[in-house]
Amino acid sequence: MTVHQKLKPLVIGRSNDLRYFKGAKSLEVDYDFNKKSWMTSEMGEKWVQKLDKRMIAECRKIALVFYNCPAHPKEINLKLKNITVFYLPPCTTSKLQPMDQGVIKNFKIHYRKRIVRKVITALKNNQSMPKINLRESISEISKAWNYDVTDRNSFAKAGFFVSNENSASTDDEDDIPLEKLKKMWIQLRGKEEINDDVLIDDFLSLDSEAETSETLTELDILDIVKNKNNTANELR
């Protein structure tokens, strides 16, 4: 993804049940699956190589920036022609990773706002609580992802380029989706569909501790520490 173009999000589920995708000529996302619905290094490598083929076909050369997630393929550059992969230094994700500067947060807000809106609409029409299956979830993910979620601001905050926009105004823009969701949350409370002790922050962060990729082994951790020490020695 760049500040000018978004790639399809990669959705990883547990099922390859084609019933969910019946009648769909194509999906709005890239889809893969495994038993734990985790991102793995094999999936990551397959995704990058698929993107490389696309860049070759489009006669484009791009750079990808990865942080130190175990699922991100390592030493893959030799297998690529039109993509160069760069890796962020360890322990710098919160500062240098654009996705952590607002992209993920805003995406989740937009996605959950769409789900809450479905619930409110159903209640207004005296319908039962909607159940979101995999196909519907994918559709909502795509719509939320393609919404303008101030990605440019996030890349600027991470230092990828210098923004001429006023930082205070962009911060205000980032909060607009959240304010809309808060109003919708109040509507649900008014209909007594949500207990007073359930906070919107809990709703937004309910999956923050969920494992989404392969976990680091002791050897992986030692390797990261070793590379970090080598980098520090080189900078001396």
Per-residue pLDDT of 33-44, as tens digits, reads 888 888 888 888
pLDDT value at position 89?
Answer: 78
Per-residue pLDDT of 126-138, as tens digits, reads 888 788 888 888 9
* Nearest CA among 111, 104, 193 for reference residue 150: 104
Whether 188 contacts 116, CB under 8 Å: yes
> Cα–chain-centroid distance for residue 15?
20
pLDDT value at position 41?
Answer: 85
Distance CA 223, CA 226 (A): 5
pTM of the model: 0.69
Tokens encoding 64: 């990808």
10 Å CB burial of residue 58 (0-12, 13-18, 19+) is: exposed
Per-residue pLDDT of 196-231, as tens digits, reads 666 667 776 667 666 666 665 556 556 645 654 554
H-run or E-run covering 85: strand 83-87
Does position 29 have pLDDT exceeding 60, yes or no?
A: yes
pLDDT value at position 85?
Answer: 92
* Nearest CA among 38, 29, 31 for reference residue 6: 29
